[in-house]
Copies of this chain bind each other. A is one copy, B any other.
């Protein structure tokens, strides 16, 4: 998957570029997709003009952040490949949840449409779907559920509000057990 915005050549420019990306990641995590661009520039210690030069549209910035997140998620999938089917799947989902919990921008993006998002979604599916299919083949997952169903279920439950983490995990457990065969 090709990065859409390529890092600038000059050292100072590269520094700014990276600072913006980091600031944007934080801001999107805190405030969702609607985070203020001026605030992001401020956090990055950079002029608003610099932000716009590197990322002409909000979409561009968001995509740049999003690519990173998806890549990390794909990496986790590879790391759990040798666990038993159901464990591998839930372990990956645990990571997915931890990950997504603080980054609701990612969830909001699940339904965006653009070249880039389709590519990212493809990457995520390539990473996670084999885990899902393996669990299904092992007879651990009901046959009428799809990977997409599961992802949406998990991100739905996760993005809701809970009294504490324990409740969230418990509820997520209930929901997942509804996905198991039987």
Contact = CB atoms under 8 A, between A and B. Distances in A.
Contact of A153 (B107, B149, B171): B171
Interface in A156-182: 156-163, 167, 170-171, 173-180, 182
A161 B171 CA distance: 19
A111 B159 CA distance: 13
Nearest to A182: B182
A145 interface: yes
Question: Interface on chain A toward B: helix, strand, loop, or mixed SS?
Answer: helix
A145 B174 contact: yes
B170 A174 contact: no
Interface size bracket, A side: 20 to 34
Interface of A: 107, 110-111, 142, 144-145, 148-149, 152-153, 155-163, 167, 170-171, 173-180, 182
25 contacts: A110-B161, A111-B161, A145-B174, A148-B167, A149-B171, A149-B174, A152-B160, A152-B162, A153-B160, A153-B171, A156-B156, A156-B157, A156-B159, A156-B160, A157-B157, A157-B175, A159-B160, A173-B178, A174-B175, A174-B179, A175-B175, A175-B178, A176-B178, A178-B179, A182-B182
